[in-house]
Amino acid sequence: MRNRREASPGPAEQPGLPEWVFDVLRCPVSGAELELSDGPQGVELVAAEGADPRLAYPVRDGIPVLLEHEARQID
Residues 19-56: tens digit of each pLDDT? 887 889 999 999 999 998 999 989 999 999 999 999 99
Domain count, the chain: 1
pLDDT computed for residue 30 by the predictor: 96
Asked if residue 4 is part of any domain, the answer here is: no
- The Cα–Cα gap between 29 and 42 comes to 21
Specify the pLDDT at position 3: 44
Mapped onto helix, strand or coil, the DSSP state of residue 70 is helix
Structural domain harbouring 44: 11-73
Residue 68 DSSP class = G
Q: Which amino acid is at 74?
A: I
On whether residue 3 sits in a domain, the answer given is no
pTM: 0.76
- Could you give the CA distance from residue 24 to residue 6 in angstroms, rounded to a whole number? 18
The secondary structure of residue 43, as a DSSP letter, is E
Residue 2 lies in a domain: no
Instruction: Tell which wins on pLDDT, 61 or 72.
Output: 72
